[in-house]
Amino acid sequence: MQARIHIDVAALRPVQAAPMKLVPLTLTDFDLGETPIRACSWLAEAGSRVMQGDRLLEVVAGEVTIDLEAPASGRLARRCVGPDDLLTIGQVLAVISTPDAP
Is residue 70 situated within a structural domain? yes
Evaluate whether residue 2 is within a structural domain. Answer: no
pTM (2 decimals)? Answer: 0.78
Q: Could you tell me the residue range of the domain that residue 60 belongs to?
A: 16-97
Domain assignment present for 67: yes
Domain-embedded: residue 50 = yes
* CATH number, residue 26: 2.40.50.100
DSSP 3-state assignment of 35? Answer: coil
* 3-39 pLDDT, tens digit each: 676 666 566 666 666 678 999 999 999 888 889 999 9
The domain tally of the chain equals 1
Q: Establish if 65 belongs to a structural domain.
A: yes
Is the predicted pLDDT of residue 101 greater than 60, yes or no? no
> Would strands 20-26 and 92-99 be described as parallel, antiparallel, or unpaired?
antiparallel
Is 20 contained in some domain?
yes
The H or E element spanning position 61 is strand 55-61
